[in-house]
Every structure is written in C-alpha cells, then in structure tokens.
C-alpha cells in the first residue's frame, strides 16, 4: 500500500491550481499538457492567443478542467497584475507558479545595444520578479511551490548570447535567494536549467533552417548524451519539482541538459 501511495505522490498534481507563463509554445506548452495529465487546474499565459487556445484544447481533451486563459505580454506591469487577479478570482487560490516565459537574443558586448539588453532582461528577469512578488502572498497561504525555467546558459558561459546568459544567471540567483526567503513559510522555489531543447526559440532568435540544423547536429558533441532534448523531458522535471514528491527540495537549479553542464574541453 505504501508503494502505491508513494507512486501516486510522484505523479499527481491533482487539484493544484497552477499558473504557467509562456504556455503558448515550447517548454511552457509541454508543461501545460503535462500538468493537465496530472490533474492540475490551469491558468495559462502566453502572447499567442491562437496557440494558447490550442494548448487549452489539448488539456481539456485529456479530461482536465477547462484552463483559464490569461494572455498578454509580461513586460507590461498592468498585464501582470491582471493575470494574477483573474487567476485568483477564477480559482480562489494558487498552489503552483511556473515561470516559463522567456526570450532568446543573439548578440555580443559589441553588438547588443541597450534596447536589446533591456528587452531580454525585462522579459526574462523583471517580469518574473514582479509576477512572483504578486503571487507569493497567495502561495504562502497554500504552502505552494515555484518552478522557474532557466537555462544551462545561466550556469555556463557562452559567447554570442551575452544578455541571455546574464538574464539566466540572474534567474538562478533569484531562485536560490527566494527559496531561502520563503523556506520558513514552507514555499519551495526551484528551477530547471535546460540544455538545447527542440523548440522555436532559436529560430525566433534569428537562426535560419540551415543554421538551426547545424546547431542541432553539433549537440552530438556539446551534450554528453549526444543529442538535444525535447520539451516533454523538461516538463517531467518541472512537474516533479512542483509536486509533493519534491517536498524536501528547495533552492535547486536542476540541469536538464543531457550532461552539458558537467562537460569541460580536454
């Protein structure tokens, strides 16, 4: 009997009210579907409303409660406030926050201007800070959990994506500091740090099809497991950290990167 209960604990998010940002594509979309499978009640944020509706349909097709759609650009403070207010008004509580929204931008210290830098930091750091700030009082009430979607770029240094690397390093520190600040209130805060995952984010950042194909091919060398990852693999890690199966885990930046973080040129 104990084994059955433990197995259920690992996989269940039943009834957990979960706000997921960046839910219209990539890792956020995969997490939304994964959480729907595991019984969560979802509030889904994204900028692409049509994609968001498609993800919501996938969730209801799995038997989930119809997700609340809270679309909008998180770099706008009023939008962030509205998202939290609508989620609380609709569900009356908040158990889990998944900060998955983020953008990737190419550029070096020579080529990245302040406007580009500000855009990356506003989406990847400032909006996460503000949304979390607004959600924390409600997560304290439920002794909930937060999972941030960071990157191997926060833990390792790569040329040509400077602002992005800086933003993810900031997010990792944000994860650790807030975990310590909220631990006494039994709110857990962790992050996942993906390596190269097959999504649209690299194409949006400017890679054409040929460049992207070469980029993925190179993953055979840059990732110890010899391949890029897929979004479901990251979604599984997010679900684990958000669930009661990770009840004694907080302040962790968990690599989901095929071993890339452990590699060093020889």
Instruction: Give me the pLDDT at residue 9, please.
Output: 53
Whole-model pTM: value is 0.93
Query: Tell me: the pLDDT tens digits for 167-189?
Result: 999 999 999 999 999 999 999 99
DSSP 122: I
Query: Tell me: the pLDDT tens digits for 36-60?
Result: 999 999 999 999 999 999 999 999 9
In this predicted structure, the answer to whether residue 27 has a pLDDT above a threshold of 50 is yes
Q: Tell me the mean pLDDT in the region 16-28.
A: 97
- Asked about 212 being catalytic, the answer comes back as no
Closest by alpha carbon to 178, among 138, 129, 141?
A: 129
CA distances to 43, 102, 203, 214 from 98, rounded to whole Å, are: 10, 12, 24, 31
Domains within the chain, CATH numbers bracketed:
2-251 (3.40.50.720)
In this predicted structure, the answer to whether residue 203 has a pLDDT above a threshold of 90 is no
Which is the catalytic residue, given 129, 130, 164, 212? Answer: 164
219 SS3 class: helix
Strand pairing class (188-194; 145-149):
parallel
As to burial, measured by CB atoms within 10 angstroms (0-12 exposed, 13-18 middle, 19+ buried), residue 56 is: buried
Query: Tell me: the pLDDT tens digits for 50-96?
Result: 999 999 999 999 999 999 999 999 999 999 999 999 999 999 999 99
H helices of 23-74, in order, are 26-37, 49-61
Q: Tell me the mean pLDDT in the region 108-135.
A: 97
Side-chain half-sphere exposure of 129, counting CA atoms within 13 A: 15
């Amino acid at each position: 009997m104990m084994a059955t209960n433990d197995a259920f604990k690992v996989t269940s998010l039943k009834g957990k009210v979960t706000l997921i940002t960046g839910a219209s594509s990539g890792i956020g979309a995969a997490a939304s579907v994964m959480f729907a499978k595991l019984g969560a009640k979802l509030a889904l944020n994204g900028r692409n409303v049509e994609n968001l509706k498609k993800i919501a349909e996938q969730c209801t097709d799995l038997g989930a409660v119809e997700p609340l759609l809270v679309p909008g650009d998180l770099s706008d403070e009023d939008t962030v406030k509205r998202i939290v207010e609508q989620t609380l008004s609709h569900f009356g509580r908040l158990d889990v926050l998944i900060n998955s929204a983020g953008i990737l931008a190419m550029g070096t210290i020579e080529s990245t201007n302040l406007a580009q830098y500000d855009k990356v930091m506003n989406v990847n750091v400032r909006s996460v800070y503000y949304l979390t700030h607004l959600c924390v009082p409600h997560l304290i009430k439920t002794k909930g959990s937060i999972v941030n979607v960071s990157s191997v770029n926060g833990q390792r240094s790569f040329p040509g994506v400077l602002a992005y690397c800086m933003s993810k390093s900031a997010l990792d520190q944000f994860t650790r500091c807030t975990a310590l600040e909220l631990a006494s209130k039994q709110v857990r805060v962790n992050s996942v740090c993906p390596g190269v995952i097959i999504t649209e984010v690299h194409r949006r950042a400017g890679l054409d099809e040929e460049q992207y194909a070469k980029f993925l091919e190179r993953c055979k060398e840059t990732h110890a497991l010899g391949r890029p990852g897929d979004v479901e693999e990251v979604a599984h890690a997010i679900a684990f950290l958000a669930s009661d199966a990770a009840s004694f885990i907080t302040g962790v930046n968990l690599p989901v990167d095929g071993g890339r973080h452990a590699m060093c040129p020889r």
